[in-house]
Amino acid sequence: MSTEVAIVGIGMHEFGRTEGVSGMEQGVIAVRRACADAGVKWEDVQFAFGGSAAAGAADTMVSQLGLTGLQFINVANGCATGGSALFSAYNTIRSGVFDLGIAIGFDKHERGAFRVDTRGAGLGNWYGASGLALTTQFFGMKINRYMHEYGISHSTLGKVSEKAFRNGSMNPMAWRRKPISEQEALDSLMLSYPLTQYMFCSPGEGGVALILARADKAHLYTDKPIFLDAAVVRSRRFGSFEVLAPSIALEHNAGPTVDSSKAAFEMAGIGPEDIDIAQLQDTEAGAEVMHMAENGFCEHGEQEFMIQAGDTEIGGKFPVNTDGGCLANGEPIGASGLRQVYENVLQLRGQAGARQVPNDPKVAYTHVYGAPGISGVTILSR
Amino acid sequence: MAQVPVTEGVFTWPSETPQLIGSRCVACGNHMFPVQSGCPKCTGEKTEQVLLGRRGTLWTWTVQGFPPKAPPYAGDVDPKTFKAFGVGYVELPGQIKVEARLTEADPEKLKIGMEMEMVIVPLSTDASGNEVVTFAFAPVA
Ligand SMILES: [Zn+2]
């Protein structure tokens, strides 16, 4: 029997744009806040896994936090960087090597759509030169096909954005805190059909840190430990449809989200029906819709009725992206997956303030997805 | 003005009937584009070069509504003159779905399942004054 793991401290630096503060410094602030939340001193932390996509090597932050000699391992895994840091920290405690550690993610990106390094992504220069290396195009094409197959309406995409910005308006850490209507979302600039400006998240800035401990020692740090029942990362299999793919196979296979979701439920010994609240990757409005089904929370097409009925609102039957998701928080790649876990910890502790879900949540779910076809899932409980 | 391809080895050029250049796995017959040496389906290590079909059906599409960042983009990025362009996956029967620019950018005129044919389109002008061309798919009239 492996050691159980609890999250005993959480810290976050505000998402959005913070002029004059580097991504690394935002990570440092998140670490200090997490330590304060757990009542832990930095010198008590035995190990760290951390990463950013565009804001430097995480392990260099020890020069600001204190040179304690701890084991610090950098993680670089694209959009799953934060999830991978958490996965690694989780398994380090489960294995019994250490009792107390930290997972850190932070980032700071330039404005505008992500600039894809085609060579770094294993693609020829012709691909970007020809105007194909845009992640936004994939999202437009995936949801366009999905709408065609399963009858999802443009209105439903607009409603996802409306919900995200409304939830963001109740989140003091969020970037976008001004509510918008479904119609405003639908009428905003068309970036990549059928997705408009307000249906896409933007690359941004922010940092998140999570302190993990052996569950049997969690009471030393908190009276509200949140248990990590599963943490899974999966890459794509043959036949799946992924971002930045010059071609895809004729035969269809479910993507890494389906695989990581199934594995996480198996690991936790529960099913989708046991989840009270979920934070699902919403790089754009359509992604949230598709990921509801890919993670097993409904049948394909059923989202149309669920979203139109308000089921995924904070007060609905199945609240999704209660902190405003990527749409309202932006996407600092290294921190994004950990933000979801941060939100679930707040919700499970009953500390989410104005956006606290009223269903007394006991089990919570997070899901990230990103290039080049990678997904990470966690399941938390109290 | 001379025409030069955006790259060598991705499509046959010059040609009256240009074709994309892909690979086929010797062991399992899986098709790949662009050319690669290993097979992601069966993990086979031997592939052979194959020319892909010029006609297929539109599997999905979007419209690139804003100028991509340059680099890597080689085309027009001036917001005043930038013209939106279609992007889609075209399913080539018995082979593979390939991602490509589309010559059509009007959402009213793009339909999943419509017949498409490969063409060569101008992309930019290089430092020597040559017209750089790339591949695209056009609706079959
Ligand atoms: Zn093969």
Q: What range defines the domain where residue B105 resides?
A: 54-139
Query: From the centroid of its chain, how far is CA A164?
Result: 14
Please tell me the distance between residue B94's alpha carbon and the centre of ligand 1 in angstroms: 15
Across chain A, mean pLDDT equals 95
- Give dist(CA A105, CA A273) in Å, integer: 30
Cis peptide leading into residue B71 (ω within 30°): yes
Cα–Cα dist A327/A200, whole Å: 6
In this predicted structure, which of A115-124, A185-194, B22-31, B47-56 has the lowest mean pLDDT? A115-124
Residues B74-110: pLDDT tens digits? Answer: 999 999 999 999 999 999 999 999 999 999 999 999 9
pLDDT tens sequence across A327-341: 999 999 999 999 999
Write b or e for each residue in A45-56: b if 16 or more Cβ atoms lie within 10 A of its Cβ, otherwise e.
bbbbbbbbbbbb
pLDDT digits (tens, 9 = 90+) for A256-292: 999 999 999 999 999 999 999 999 999 999 999 999 9
**Which among B40, B61, B66 is the nearest to A144, CB-wise?**
B61
- Distance, in angstroms, between A330 CA and closest chain B CA? 19
Residue of A nearest to B106 (CA): A193
Q: Which of A157, A97, A183, A154 is nearest to A286 (CA)?
A: A157
CB pairs under 8 A between A and B: 126
CB contact under 8 A, B97 and A248: yes
Substitution target from B47, B87, B119, B137 for chain A, most A beta carbons within 10 A: B87
pLDDT value at residue B108: 97
In a domain, B36, yes or no: no
Cβ-defined contact of A248 to B10 (cutoff 8 Å): no
On whether residue B11 sits in a domain, the answer given is: no
Q: For strand A5-16 and strand A226-235, is the pairing parallel, antiparallel, or unpaired?
A: antiparallel
Does residue B137 contact residue B100 with C-beta atoms inside 8 Å?
yes
The yes-or-no verdict on residue A78 having pLDDT over 90 is: no
In a domain, B65, yes or no: yes
Output the DSSP codes for A205-255: EEEEEEEEEEGGGGGGT-SS-EEEEEEEEEE--TT---SS-SEE-SS----
> Any idea where the domains of chain A sit in the sequence?
5-111+201-381
- Stretch A91-97: mean pLDDT, rounded? 96
pTM of the predicted model as reported, rounded to 2 decimal places = 0.95
Average pLDDT value over all residues in chain B: 96
Domain A5-111+201-381: what homologous superfamily? Thiolase/Chalcone synthase (3.40.47.10)
**Is B108 among the domain residues?**
yes
Rounded to whole angstroms, what are the CA distances from A74 to A33, A77, A356, B104? 20, 10, 33, 45
CB contact A152 to B (< 8 Å): no
Query: Contacts of residue A247 in chain B, CB cutoff 8 Å?
Result: 22, 32-34, 96-99
Q: Is residue B64 part of a domain?
A: yes
Residue A246, chain B, CB below 8 Å: the answer is yes
Report if residue B133 sits inside a domain. yes
- Tell me how crowded residue B140 is: count the other CB atoms within 10 A of its CB: 11
CA distance B141 to chain A (A): 23
- Report the gap between the CA of A145 and the closest CA in chain B (Å): 5
Q: Which two tokens stand for residue A25?
A: 């410094």
Give chain B's domain count: 1
Quote the ligand 1 centre to B52 CA distance (angstroms): 17
pLDDT in tens, A183-233: 999 999 999 999 999 999 999 999 999 999 999 999 999 999 999 999 999
Coil, helix or strand at residue A341: helix
Residue with tokens 């250049």, as numbered in its chain? B21
Partner residue facing B99 (CB), from A116, A128, A247: A247
Residue B23 lies inside a defined structural domain of this protein:
no
In this prediction, residues B41-64 reach a mean pLDDT of: 97
